[in-house]
Amino acid sequence: MTSYAETVAAKCIECGQCTEECDFLTTYGKTPKELANEALNTSFSDNPVLPYSCNICGYCQKLCPENLDLGLMMMEAREKLVSKRIGPLPGHQPAVEGQEFYLSSDFRIISTGNEAESCDAVFFPGCALSAYSPDLVQATYSHLTAQYANLGITLGCCGGPSELVGKTDYANQITEQLEQDIKNLGASEIIVACPYCYKRLSEQFTDVKPVSLYMVLSETGAKFSEKGNKTYTIHDPCSARDQPEIQDAVRTLISETGYTIDEHAHTRDNTHCCGMGGMVFLANAAVGAANAERTIRESSHDLVTYCATCRDIFSGQGKKCVHLLDLLFGKSPAEQASKVPNSPETATENMKTLNQWARNLAKDIKHESVLSHWTGDLTKGLKHESK
């Protein structure tokens, strides 16, 4: 079976078009062809930080005249490092422990959201938004119930953390179980807030249809109160690249609330990653910060984005930034823009709060965390490998 590294080694013409737009390539000073040859010769065993320093954002493929995606090669390399018990890296420990919590009964819950035995659709806010603001999750769910007569709620993990550290098989088990649990509720649709979760579930689900929350909010025609005439520079998450319908829906929602949008040079399909894509900040903070700084330099105003992780990355680098849902449902977006990211302790408490709220929606929860009987062993393996 031909590896993707062989494809890159054979087809890369070393034109440099991707290099000048990629802080990962700039940092290491190597062309994709050179990296491909290194992957084929050493599998990066002597330099495992390198493949974990790519944002897997897909911008290189858009720029490449040969349509090569360096991220695919770096994901292949991560999987090989995991097979050799070199990956994940010590810096990935917070993600490993975080996912263990996301799968525990302290957070994960699958519920019809009411006393009914089944539901038609479920709302999936994702872990990052849940950690960022329980109030926004609850306000969004309340808004959606006006459009969906029978709406469930799903708290948990899409499998992304395991996928990004190279534990692909484990990630797929999580995703498969999530889809089965949703099907058990009778739901055929999952409304997804996180752009990365939406991308992953769209690629993995076979029977349940993922739909973007922002498409739903835009298409239902619901009116949002105007809150001011402030101008925001918009940041499209890299996981929303090649999703023009979602990009358009987001801009419609921002405009409907009375705000003006500043489109800088790298938005929509040309967006740069915030720096956390591929969980780069955990493995190589310098490369992650360089990515964030690119967007901050190009932003003439406070930022607005529709990814809670992007929001925290920019605010953590000192840039005022709000989540789109702050503009739609928040009480004071301007105040929220100045807030630093939540501490890990606060984020955990926020997710526990949401879990209790979801339990209170339906006193008799019939769909508890079914992963609890096997997650422990697998996450212990992850912990062992990241030491």
pLDDT digits (tens, 9 = 90+) for 1-40: 679 999 999 999 999 999 989 999 999 999 999 999 999 9
Say what the pLDDT of residue 149 is.
85
Q: Where does residue 201 fall: left (phi above 0), alpha (psi -120 to 50 degrees), or beta otherwise? A: alpha
Say what the pLDDT of residue 214 is.
98
Tell me the mean pLDDT in the region 172-197.
95
- CA dihedral sign of residues 12, 14, 20, 24: positive
- Cα–Cα distance for residue pair 338/5, rounded to 1 Å: 43
DSSP character for 255?
H
- Cα–Cα distance for residue pair 307/239, rounded to 1 Å: 9
Count the Cβ atoms, other than its own, within 10 Å of residue 363: 7
- At what angle are helices 93-102 and 372-385 packed, to 10 degrees? 180
Q: Read off the pLDDT band of 73 (50, 70, 90).
A: very high
* pLDDT of 379 above 70: no
**CA count, 13 A, side-chain hemisphere, 329:** 16
CA geometry: angle at 125 spanning 122 and 128, to 5°?
160
Tell me the mean pLDDT in the region 170-180.
94
Do residues 111 and 153 make contact, with C-beta atoms less than 8 angstroms apart? yes
- Cα–Cα distance for residue pair 147/247, rounded to 1 Å: 22
* pLDDT of 71 above 80: yes
Q: Render pLDDT for 99-143 as a digit per residue (tens, 0 to 9).
A: 999 999 999 999 998 877 889 999 999 999 999 999 999 999 999
Percent of the chain's residues with pLDDT above 70: 92
Do residues 304 and 322 make contact, with C-beta atoms less than 8 angstroms apart? yes
Say what the pLDDT of residue 203 is.
97
Q: Read off the pLDDT band of 365 (50, 70, 90).
A: low
